[in-house]
Structure 1
Amino acid sequence: MPRPIFELPPRPQPTTQDPISVLVREPPPDSIIPWHSHPWGQLAYPVSGAVCMDVPGSRWLVPPFRALWVPPGVEHQQSMLGHVRLRVVHVAEGCAALPESHCAVLEITPLLRELIEALLPRPPQSERRTQIQALLLTELSQARTLNLRLPQPSDRRLAALCEALMADPADNAPLTEWARRVGASGRTLARLFQSEMGMSFGLWRQQVRLTHATVLVAQGRPYAEIAAELGYASPSAFSAMFRRAFGCSPRAFYAAGASPK
């Protein structure tokens, strides 16, 4: 069944004089915003639910209390994972000390959250609004980034493997079995992972599981259930892998965000 399309409403373009605007969006569950770009930068920040963002060559899963930075001019497609409530922060080109050529997932600290909320509803331009915008830009420049990127291939055989594994991260089949399924040799797939993804098959599968884990943890799912859904042998094995990747336990990762007002 095709996903419902969410048509973007008209939105004001930020300027160097008024560099940040914040919008509230609550698209239909499981809807999609088709491929598009805009001349300003954007932070897609789910306060509940999670977002899948595709850009050429990459896919990002963004859990609550984190935000995906999309630089000006970058084509992207956004999919809602269930029911999602969003804050969308538009930033005028050249005003944010954030990457200009690639996306990044940022931690949204309590201070960042409050600064974003302070720009809602859109107040008139004033000294206070200007000061909030300036502090928000400063805090964004200091925000911690998270490695939630999933490189995406162009080779059709590798693409078939990757789509299947993203749909079922618990699949523990070795690369030789995947090679049989997609009609390529194991050596060819191993070479393609290195040339197109910049990592081995094992590392890419681990990244798939970790990115899915951030969403499942935010949903409050039991660790045993998450471990089984992602193909880990036990909840402790899942927790250990999560801690190695993010430097904290799954519980602390979720607690790092706080519910918005």
Structure 2
Amino acid sequence: MRNVPLAEVDHVDRAVLPIGTDYAPGHVLDWHEHRRAQFLYGATGVMAVDTAEGAWTVPPERAVLIPPATRHRVRMLGVSTRSLYIEPHAVPWWPTTCTVVDVPPLLRELLLAAVEFEADYSLSGRSGSIAALLLYEIAERAPLPFHVGIPASADLAGLCRAYLAAPDPDATNAAWAARTAMSERAFTRRFRAETGDSPAVWRGRARLLAALPLLRTASVSEVGARIGYSSPAAFTAAFTRAFGLPPSRFAAGRRGVGGS
């Protein structure tokens, strides 16, 4: 199924519904939720996924596992997706929070084949076997660290979401504390309690996540400078420490792990 709204087929008696969708650059799927779990794979481009608990940036040829009944928003940056909408009873092992995962060649080819199925595809033979194998392959995936937590309180969450939208390398704890009418010490303690990170560590990770969509169209040197790094080497070292891969693996003209 391609470019078919889930609502039109959600009633179909299949544990796995594969749908491929093409989106205009910058398209936003505003806040919504599905009763099914979703495996959202970006065959191209970068996806930014928000929930009340966190923000996930999904690089090209990766996917995000979205739990059932999780309110979320997705911004598409040049993305063509291959989604699986899965009945919760079929995946009791599904994570309880969004999780970014790698998509190796076998899983990618299974997804490409599955989106050609009709909604009421046969459960026997090739179609049913592919649907079953997809779940086995997804269950083997390990989480990747492309996310930051969002504080539960509205004032801190507002600061964080504004920073994700426009990361400022010159932001300071003192400035953030002043915006919440708190002392810097009290602000830092509260921020760490709600996110598990200090504000400075959180901002550093958010800036690195912001680099991922920029790398689609700009060089490593240009992106590093835009997000406040003094040299390409410093940017590459920080990015590699955070994500386990150098930014050159995501730069324009390159394909990430799992690409051919």
C-alpha distance in 2 between matches for 1:251 and 1:257: 15
TM-superposition CA deviations, 1:84-104 (whole Å, max 9, x none):
221121122132364342110
Identity of paired residues, percent? 33
Could you tell me which of 100, 110, 116 is aligned with 1:115? Answer: 110
Could you tell me which of 160, 165, 168 is aligned with 1:167? Answer: 165
Q: Is the 8 A contact 2:30 2:73 kept in 1?
A: yes
Specify the SS of the correspondent of 2:182.
coil
C-alpha distance in 2 between matches for 1:100 and 1:143: 11
Q: Is the 8 A contact 1:97 1:141 kept in 2?
A: no
Of 231-240 and 161-170, more deviation after overlay is shown by 161-170
Give the AA of the match of 1:222: S
Of 44-53 and 66-75, more deviation after overlay is shown by 44-53
Q: Structure 2 vs 1, CA of residues 248 and 49 (structure 1 numbering), >3 Å: closer, same or farther?
A: closer
Q: Structure 2 vs 1, CA of residues 196 and 94 (structure 1 numbering), >3 Å: closer, same or farther?
A: same
C-alpha distance in 2 between matches for 1:190 and 1:99: 33
C-alpha distance in 2 between matches for 1:161 and 1:36: 22
C-alpha distance in 1 between matches for 2:258 and 2:157: 34
Specify the SS of the correspondent of 1:117.
helix
Are 1:36 and 2:32 counterparts? Answer: yes
Aligned to 1:234: 231
1:203: Cα distance to partner?
A: 1.7
C-alpha distance in 1 between matches for 2:103 and 2:201: 27
Q: How does 1:119-134 map to 2 (within 5 A)?
A: 119-123=114-118, 124-125=121-122, 126-134=124-132
Q: Structure 2 vs 1, CA of residues 147 and 14 (structure 1 numbering), >3 Å: closer, same or farther?
A: farther
1:255: Cα distance to partner?
A: 2.9
Aligned to 1:199: 197
TM-superposition CA deviations, 1:5-62 (whole Å, max 9, x none):
xx956342387x7322211112333232232222211012122222222212212222
Specify the SS of the correspondent of 2:185.
helix
TM-superposition CA deviations, 1:149-183 (whole Å, max 9, x none):
22112434423432332233242332113323453
Q: Structure 2 vs 1, CA of residues 196 and 248 (structure 1 numbering), >3 Å: closer, same or farther?
A: same
Could you tell me which of 138, 153, 156 is aligned with 1:155? Answer: 153
Q: Is the 8 A contact 1:33 1:79 kept in 2?
A: yes
Are 1:62 and 2:58 counterparts? Answer: yes
TM-score, scaled relative to structure 1: 0.85
Q: Is the 8 A contact 1:19 1:95 kept in 2?
A: yes
Query: Structure 2 regions of 5+ residues with no counterpart?
Result: none
Of 143-152 and 166-175, more deviation after overlay is shown by 166-175
Specify the SS of the correspondent of 1:137.
helix
Q: Number of residue pairs matched?
A: 251
Specify the SS of the correspondent of 1:99.
coil
Give the AA of the match of 2:230: A
C-alpha distance in 2 between matches for 1:26 and 1:159: 31
Aligned to 1:77: 73
1:129: Cα distance to partner?
A: 1.2
Q: Is the 8 A contact 2:101 2:144 kept in 1?
A: yes
Give the AA of the match of 1:131: S
Specify the SS of the correspondent of 1:143.
coil
Aligned to 2:259: 258
Give the AA of the match of 1:40: R
| CA RMSD, 1 decimal | 2.5
C-alpha distance in 2 between matches for 1:173 and 1:252: 28
1:256: Cα distance to partner?
A: 0.9
Aligned to 1:246: 243
TM-score, scaled relative to structure 2: 0.85
1:225: Cα distance to partner?
A: 0.8
Could you tell me which of 94, 103, 109 is aligned with 1:99? Answer: 94
Query: Structure 1 regions of 5+ residues with no counterpart?
Result: 1-6
C-alpha distance in 2 between matches for 1:9 and 1:132: 20
C-alpha distance in 1 between matches for 2:176 and 2:197: 17
